[in-house]
Chain A
């Protein structure tokens, strides 16, 4: 592939991935309102389009045309930069997620992934750990005590749960022997006993998946770990002072983080795009994408289900759960996996 073709292909792939991601973000919001609505015995959005399907477009227009307020006492440079930082870091991590095998167009093999790094997983962890700055600086620069408390909670919570999150992934890394997400997925093809898929979750990483799930909820600030924006205590936490598109940017960052976390769980524990293939050749080439999308949908639904079900943790419960339960469990899982692999 020549340099010109490479750049063209990369730009096209980036645009497609970004459009799909942002659409998915918009419809995850719609899905959440709809599903939580039905769980609470009400309808959710119904007015804009059939089943309220055009609600995300209406919301987007509303955010664009709303007055963009900047309160007088904020520290302006950081107040403006914080939502951008949150959104940029949230969107960056999708660049190393593989969606399927490569396809061949006009004699050129194109992998379904923006870029395949041999440190792909580390890049996601690094970018996620930078994402906390958006939230923390938003809380601080707003010059409001609720925002500051939200920002402080967010940074303490994310630093605490990042350790358990990282350790829960090491078990998978030991089994597959690579940081490249494509290599990790390729290692999960095939079956045990002819019918159980060779996914990592059936390959001794069930506890690892449990720890990952808990830590991922905390990293994305979702119920039951949504203390940085706990409405009953902190008004709206770190984004209390934000309005219009800046507020929407925090929401887009949160939901695209949810999607990245769901992608990562699918790739690391549920075999990525592996699934039963059947039918004519065209269907066979589209089925991996379908399986990948279906697995992500299950995770997003689980997120929403948990939000509709569980109450919020108290702050000391959150910290002691992270440090005294998840972290020792993650270390035990790591040691057990290492012994099993070395055996």
Chain B
């Protein structure tokens, strides 16, 4: 077994373990920390594929910024432990077989397309210059349209969050 494969399996185990722990934990802050572990392990997997820039952005944006806001909100609301429920029977009867079917379908499609080959190191465009070429040259229009979409979402959030002014011009 190559060192590369060992690392891949280790990061994968952290990823899956973190995801299961995220669901199993009853305290929201533990769940949020598990999600951070999943994000960091995913960054490790990207690094193994040679996609260094994507790995760094994964850590900076998801683990470093998005999850900080999650933790911030949990701290601000001081959310306590959730109550244990017995779970819904519908979810158990439909969810587990559905998840298994979905997993099998995805695996089938992937195996049909690629056979049993794995992605070799450096097969993906991972260097910052390659990413920049793709984003700002080959796919410039979709990239800019996406940024406009995000801008609209931000403006929507600002409008929804701001208090409506009363007719007299005073916010109460």
Contact = CB atoms under 8 A, between A and B. Distances in A.
Interface in A106-157: 117-119, 122-123, 125-127, 129-130, 132-133, 136-137, 139-140, 148, 151-152, 155-156
A16 B52 CA distance: 27
A293 B65 CA distance: 32
Contacts, number: 68
Interface string A156-168: 1011001000000
Interface stretch (B9-17, B66-74, B88-96, B160-168): B66-74
Nearest to A180: B128
B8 interface: no
Nearest to B63: A130
B26 interface: no
Interface string B54-95: 011101100111001101100110100000000000000000
A27 interface: no
A129 B75 contact: no
A129 B128 contact: no
SS class, residues of chain A in contact with chain B: helix
B4 interface: no
A223 to B, nearest CB: 23
Contacts of B64: 125-126, 129-130, 132, 162
A129 B52 contact: no
Contacts of A158: 68
A156 B73 CA distance: 10
Interface residues of A, number: 26
SS class, residues of chain B in contact with chain A: helix
A159 to B, nearest CB: 6
Contacts of B52: 117-119
A139 B75 contact: yes
Given A123-B56, A162-B65, A152 B72 contact: yes
Contacts of B127: 118
Interface string A64-93: 000000000000001000000000000000
A119 B78 CA distance: 37
B65 A159 contact: yes
Nearest to B56: A122
Given A118-B127, A159-B65, A162-B65, A126 B56 contact: yes
B68 A133 contact: yes
B61 to A, nearest CB: 9
Interface of B: 29, 33, 36, 52-53, 55-57, 59-60, 63-65, 68-69, 71-72, 75-76, 78, 127-128
Closest 10 CB pairs of A and B: A129-B64, A122-B56, A126-B59, A126-B60, A140-B75, A119-B52, A155-B72, A119-B56, A155-B68, A126-B56
